């Protein structure tokens, strides 16, 4: 090549860079597409970033110019000012002849911020530029701004709109300094380049200063050329430049970028004061002490996916998410993945197995070093200057990628078994080590939240440098630190944020496989935490992982056995919450037998496991046996734990449930109120989720006892409490306790006669269907509530459809002879009777009565309710004598079991008066009706729908409301 051509090459390449900028800054992938792939991204990057020092071949220039013109047209820009291939051929010929003034001054238009083109992709790439406010001073144009030597945007720049807008807000129109700090590869330099390009028109001088060393920064400052004395040294010229910029002569609005200024002490005195704007890019958090610091985070997942989808042809959105997750959304790694052209699954495998080897190869175009080189250098500096910081970094590499509570590290001073005890035990050494990690940007330190965070790729690189022995030691250190940070009580919602933090570090560190008792205790507590916050799927999965890795039995180690049994118990709880009752009960029976044999009847774990006996009997429909079992369990709880203990609260609540299931409603209401009061006293706050749970149980018992208005008042209080904890993020809208309460509240509204109660019943049924599935007991209970509310609202056809489906599901889920299956059939029969089909009702009721006599007995409220509804159906069919006989039998039983003023009793009594009137016994009926009216009005109020139906001489069928089993 002509040597003259080599001399003109830099000027010609600079014009090509400006051509691309004036074409709307199309991405390399866009130019590759528009050139029918005659241009490659790597070649364009090499040419435009100066890696190829010779003048590019004309074939490349011709295709590049044509592609830039097409890209400008796609973006709605006028391609004419860019020049034609013929114009550029003349410039290329002139460059070949050694001429540097090539005649391209750029497109003759102001450089106002451009909106981002749809379809542009990348890892960093140009976002929609934040627009300057109307009152921003913007008198300068692209051609009037002194520009140099700002690097080109080396690859597509995407996202970062919020960052650029925040920088613009701080800088435009007033003097200021921003230090953009962050991890190597996070895109600090690209953000500064993007800012300089977007807001070039707001400045009459934009200058780039490479600040890796003081000497380089002085030389770049001196190049601005304000002083004019060629015999000055770089330091003298830089001083003159700084003074001129301070005075605003000749440049009043200037922007300087100090790139890679990692040592504030070396370059801080080179920052001109006042007037202009300064952007500093740095990995050193020490700049916070001098200037306003903006910590640049990785790309958002949306931005990462957008970049990868634009750069990797044919990549699905799901695969883009997988790759972005593995890369931790770090722009430089995303760029590496896009340029590596390695198949996705192979890339992910290699990234997980040997990240340093993968990332050290295929250096992304436009980056001065490989992905890992800067990290390796920083790690080496730690080894030489701050060995405790390197020890801490190795430890952090085995936590999860989320924030690590500093408290977890501080507790290391209490761990003599930890190799980090020396580093973590001394507060000064620990503080210096954390500070060193922050200054090198190998970790992100958040003093406000008191956390430290290491990016997942940095963690992988650090782990990749360690020997197998060091890996094992560091991993175990993390297990001990996590265990030391265990709050100790997963039932206390104040501890839930701490458990959520610890949970994020559990699987990455391999905590489930640790044999240390304190680590196993933390695993158990996180299983319990997941269960209590309403995530039984994850609770069961974690319990399974732990049980697979823990020994099933260790000779003579009762503590290990106790831990194993406790995890099995928590797994069974999770399985029950998911509706897998048979498997849950089988697991509980096995665990209880082992506990009784090895630990004894009065061991805490044995006593807690003993509650599963009553639970299984309830679920099987053996209510009387469940009451006996739970009474025995309660005695054991009181003996081992005492009355005022969370475990005893649960045992007492079980007995109250049994009381209700056995028709002992007043006993249940009294015990539930006592449990609620004791729990409130124990937890000390009315909005504790456990207190709300027991208060809701009290409201439910009051409702079953027939005290509808009192039940609704308490249920409304519970609802306010749950709304408070939901608004504060303690529980979710779909937590099982919240949904159970929502169903109870809907039933309370229906029983209290609230208009349109079926609407809230429909809402909770839909939510249960979505969360638990159609056949889950909680969904079936909500379906019965909805069907009953529809029936009481005289929406009989809808009630019939809903209850027909629910009765079928009860039969297939619980079996044909479960009391709930028969009770749902009673509710369905009432809907048939209301729809004018008493014969269908009688058929259902005869079957239900036969089954209930054999399961819960003749005196159970379910049986008596069935007789009440059967009496109504018989009366509708004209069988008045049989109806009167059934009604009298039912009324006698209801008065004995529920009391004379219970709404079910009053409904049965009112129905009987109608039968007596039809039989011609008006005087007897009239006397009874006067007494019933007084009782109705005293119990429910004069405006209650039941009173209205009674006065209208309509027959009432008592409803069925399933208890949680």
CATH code (residue 915):
1.25.40.10
- For residues 165 and 29, membership in a common domain is answered with no
- For residues 281 and 176, membership in a common domain is answered with yes
Evaluate whether residue 161 is within a structural domain.
Answer: yes
The confidence score (pLDDT) of residue 444 equals 86
The answer to which of 3-7, 172-176, 188-192 has the lowest mean pLDDT is: 3-7
What share of the chain in percent tops pLDDT 70? 90
Tell me how far apart the alpha carbons of residues 101 and 7 are, in angstroms, rounded to a whole number. 12
- For residues 154 and 287, membership in a common domain is answered with yes
The residue with tokens 């980090």 is 420
- For residues 275 and 331, membership in a common domain is answered with no
The confidence score (pLDDT) of residue 120 equals 30
- For residues 858 and 965, membership in a common domain is answered with yes
Evaluate whether residue 796 is within a structural domain.
Answer: no
Closest CA to 256 of 242, 236, 239, 235: 242
First to last CA, the chain: 89
Q: Which domain holds residue 954?
A: 846-965
Q: Above 50 in pLDDT, residue 2?
A: no
Digit-coded pLDDT (tens) for 856-897: 999 999 999 999 999 999 999 999 999 999 999 999 999 999
Please, which residues have CB within 8 angstroms of residue 489's CB and are 6 or more apart in sequence? Answer: 495, 525
- For residues 290 and 340, membership in a common domain is answered with no
- For residues 173 and 315, membership in a common domain is answered with no
If 0-12 CB within 10 Å is exposed, 13-18 middle and 19+ buried, where does residue 713 land? middle
Digit-coded pLDDT (tens) for 595-617: 999 999 999 999 999 999 999 99
- For residues 290 and 345, membership in a common domain is answered with no
Tell me how far apart the alpha carbons of residues 211 and 281 are, in angstroms, rounded to a whole number. 9
Residue 468: other Cβ atoms inside 10 A = 7
Evaluate whether residue 873 is within a structural domain.
Answer: yes
Please give the average per-residue pLDDT across 230-252, as a whole number.
82
Q: Which of 295, 310, 335 is the last residue of a domain?
A: 295
Band (pLDDT 50/70/90 cuts) for residue 129 is very low
The confidence score (pLDDT) of residue 26 equals 82
Classify the C-alpha dihedral 500-504-505-511 as positive or negative: positive
Structure tokens at 724: 């408070």
The confidence score (pLDDT) of residue 124 equals 35
- For residues 91 and 180, membership in a common domain is answered with no
Contact 390, 383 (CB under 8 A): yes
29-43 in b/e burial notation, b at 16+ Cβ within 10 A?
A: bbbbbbbeebbebeb
Evaluate whether residue 522 is within a structural domain.
Answer: no
Evaluate whether residue 425 is within a structural domain.
Answer: no
Evaluate whether residue 711 is within a structural domain.
Answer: no
Closest CA to 454 of 446, 443, 439: 443
Residues in the chain: 965
Structure tokens at 448: 């406000």
Evaluate whether residue 758 is within a structural domain.
Answer: no
Digit-coded pLDDT (tens) for 193-226: 989 888 888 888 899 999 888 888 888 888 887 6
Q: Which of 262, 295, 328 is the last residue of a domain?
A: 295
Band (pLDDT 50/70/90 cuts) for residue 688 is very high
Q: Which residue has the higher pLDDT, 266 or 155?
A: 266
Evaluate whether residue 673 is within a structural domain.
Answer: no
The confidence score (pLDDT) of residue 525 equals 95
Report the CATH number at residue 222. Answer: 3.40.50.300
Q: Which residue has the higher pLDDT, 154 or 712?
A: 712
Contact 891, 912 (CB under 8 A): yes
Digit-coded pLDDT (tens) for 41-93: 778 877 887 766 678 888 889 899 999 999 888 878 888 888 888 888 888 88
- For residues 253 and 278, membership in a common domain is answered with yes
Q: What is the reported pTM?
A: 0.73
- For residues 270 and 306, membership in a common domain is answered with no
Tell me how far apart the alpha carbons of residues 247 and 175 are, in angstroms, rounded to a whole number. 12
Q: Above 70 in pLDDT, residue 770?
A: yes
The confidence score (pLDDT) of residue 583 equals 94
Chain CA centroid to CA 697, Å: 30
Q: Which residue has the higher pLDDT, 55 or 117?
A: 55
Which of 126-135, 546-555, 794-803 has maximum average pLDDT?
A: 794-803
Band (pLDDT 50/70/90 cuts) for residue 240 is confident
The confidence score (pLDDT) of residue 761 equals 93
Number of domains in the chain: 4
Structure tokens at 121: 């992709």
**Over the chain, what is the mean pLDDT?**
86
Digit-coded pLDDT (tens) for 856-867: 999 999 999 999
Helix (H) and strand (E) counts in the chain: 44, 9
- For residues 226 and 327, membership in a common domain is answered with no
Tell me how far apart the alpha carbons of residues 531 and 526 are, in angstroms, rounded to a whole number. 8
Digit-coded pLDDT (tens) for 332-370: 898 888 888 889 999 999 998 888 888 887 766 666 667
Q: Which of 240, 268, 295 is the last residue of a domain?
A: 295
Tell me how far apart the alpha carbons of residues 679 and 315 are, in angstroms, rounded to a whole number. 55
Tell me how far apart the alpha carbons of residues 207 and 221 are, in angstroms, rounded to a whole number. 8
Q: Cα 153–368–267 angle (5° rounding)? A: 90
- DSSP line for 365-389: TT-SS-TTHHHHHHHHHHHHH-HHH
Band (pLDDT 50/70/90 cuts) for residue 155 is low
Tell me how far apart the alpha carbons of residues 298 and 530 are, in angstroms, rounded to a whole number. 29
């Amino acid at each position: 090549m002509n040597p003259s051509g080599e001399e003109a090459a830099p000027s010609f390449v600079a014009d090509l860079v400006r051509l691309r900028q004036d074409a709307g800054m199309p991405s390399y992938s866009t130019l590759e597409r528009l050139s029918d792939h005659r241009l490659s991204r790597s070649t364009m990057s090499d040419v435009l970033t100066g890696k190829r020092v010779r003048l590019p071949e004309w074939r490349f220039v011709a295709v590049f110019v044509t592609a830039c013109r097409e890209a400008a047209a796609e973006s709605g820009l006028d391609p004419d000012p860019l020049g034609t291939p013929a114009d550029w051929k003349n410039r290329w010929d002139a460059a070949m002849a050694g001429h540097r003034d090539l005649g391209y001054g750029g497109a003759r238009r102001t450089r106002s911020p451009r909106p981002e083109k749809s379809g542009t992709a990348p890892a960093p790439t140009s976002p929609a530029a934040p627009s300057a406010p109307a009152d921003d001073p913007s008198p300068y144009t692209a051609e009037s701004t002194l520009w140099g030597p700002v690097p080109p945007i080396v690859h597509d720049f995407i996202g970062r709109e919020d960052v650029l807008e925040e920088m613009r807000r701080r800088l435009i129109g007033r003097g200021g300094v921003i230090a953009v700090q962050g991890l190597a590869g996070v895109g600090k330099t690209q953000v500064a380049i993007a800012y300089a390009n977007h807001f070039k028109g707001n400045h009459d001088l934009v200058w780039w200063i490479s600040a890796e060393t003081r000497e380089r920064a002085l030389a770049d400052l001196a190049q601005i050329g304000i002083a004019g004395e060629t015999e000055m040294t770089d330091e003298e010229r830089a001083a003159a430049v700084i003074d001129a910029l301070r005075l605003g002569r000749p440049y009043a609005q200037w922007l300087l970028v100090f790139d890679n200024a990692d040592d504030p002490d070396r370059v801080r005195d080179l920052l001109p004061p006042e007037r202009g704007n300064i952007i500093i890019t740095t990995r050193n958090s020490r700049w916070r002490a001098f200037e306003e610091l903006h910590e640049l985070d990785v790309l958002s997942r949306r931005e990462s996916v957008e970049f990868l989808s634009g750069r990797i042809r044919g990549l699905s959105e799901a695969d883009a998410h997988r790759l972005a997750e593995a890369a931790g959304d770090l722009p430089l790694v995303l760029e590496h993945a896009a340029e590596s052209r390695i198949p996705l699954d192979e890339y992910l495998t290699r990234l997980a197995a040997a990240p340093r080897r993968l990332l050290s190869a295929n250096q992304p175009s436009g980056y001065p070093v490989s992905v890992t080189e800067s990290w390796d250098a920083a790690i080496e500096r730690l080894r030489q200057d701050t060995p405790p910081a390197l020890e801490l970094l190795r430890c952090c590499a085995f936590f999860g990628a989320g924030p690590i509570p500093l408290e977890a590290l501080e507790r290391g001073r209490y761990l003599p078994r930890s190799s980090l005890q020396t580093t973590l035990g001394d507060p000064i050494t620990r503080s210096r080590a954390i500070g060193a990690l922050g200054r090198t940007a190998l970790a992100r330190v958040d003093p406000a939240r008191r956390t430290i965070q290491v990016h997942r790729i940095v963690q992988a690189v650090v782990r990749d440098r360690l020997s197998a022995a060091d890996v094992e030691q560091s991993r175990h250190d993390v297990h001990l630190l996590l265990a030391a940070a265990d709050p100790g009580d997963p039932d206390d919602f104040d501890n839930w944020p701490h458990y959520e933090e610890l949970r994020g570090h559990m699987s990455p560190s391999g905590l489930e496989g640790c044999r240390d008792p304190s680590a196993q205790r933390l695993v158990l507590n996180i299983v319990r935490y997941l269960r209590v916050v309403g995530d039984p799927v994850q609770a069961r999965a974690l319990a399974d992982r732990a049980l697979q890795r823990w020994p099933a039995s260790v000779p003579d180690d009762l503590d290990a056995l106790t831990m194993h049994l406790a995890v099995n118990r928590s797994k069974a709880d999770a399985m029950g919450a998911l509706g897998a009752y048979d498997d849950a009960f089988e697991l509980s029976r096995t665990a209880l037998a082992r506990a009784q044999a090895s630990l004894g009847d009065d061991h805490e774990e044995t006593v807690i496991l003993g509650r599963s006996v009553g639970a299984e009997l309830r679920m099987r429909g053996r209510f009387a046996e469940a009451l006996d079992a739970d009474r025995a369990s309660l005695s054991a709880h009181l003996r081992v734990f005492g009355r005022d203990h969370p475990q005893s609260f649960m045992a007492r609540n079980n007995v109250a449930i049994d009381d209700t299931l056995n028709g002992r409603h007043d006993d249940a209401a009294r015990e539930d109120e006592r449990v609620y009061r004791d729990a409130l006293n124990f937890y000390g706050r009315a909005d504790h989720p456990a207190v709300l749970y027991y208060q809701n149980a009290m409201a439910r018992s009051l409702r079953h006892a027939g005290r509808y208005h009192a039940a609704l008042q308490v249920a409304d209080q519970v609802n306010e409490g749950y709304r408070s904890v939901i608004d504060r993020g303690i529980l979710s809208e779909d937590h099982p306790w919240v949904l159970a309460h929502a169903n109870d509240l809907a039933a309370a509204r229906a029983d209290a006669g609230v208009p349109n109660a079926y609407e809230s019943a429909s809402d909770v049924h839909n939510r249960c269907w979505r969360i638990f599935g159609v056949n889950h007991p909680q969904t079936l209970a909500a379906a019965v509530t909805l069907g009953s509310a529809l029936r009481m609202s005289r929406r009989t056809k809808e009630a019939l459809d809903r209850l027909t489906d629910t009765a079928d599901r009860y039969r297939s889920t619980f079996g044909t002879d479960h009391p709930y299956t028969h009770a749902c059939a009673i509710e369905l029969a009432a809907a048939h009777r209301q729809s004018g089909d008493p014969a269908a009702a009688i058929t259902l009721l005869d079957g239900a009565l036969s089954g209930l006599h054999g399961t819960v007995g003749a005196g159970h409220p379910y049986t008596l309710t069935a007789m009440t509804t059967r009496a109504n159906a018989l009366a509708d069919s004209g069988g008045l004598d049989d109806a009167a006989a059934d009604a009298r039998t039912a009324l006698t039983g209801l008065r004995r079991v529920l009391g004379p003023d219970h709404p079910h009793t009053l409904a049965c009594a009112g129905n009987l008066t109608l039968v007596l009137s039809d039989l011609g016994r008006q005087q007897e009926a009239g006397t009874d009706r006067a007494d019933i009216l007084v009782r109705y009005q005293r119990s429910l109020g004069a405006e209650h729908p039941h009173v209205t139906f009674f006065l209208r001489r309509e027959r009432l069928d008592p409803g069925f409301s399933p208890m949680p089993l």
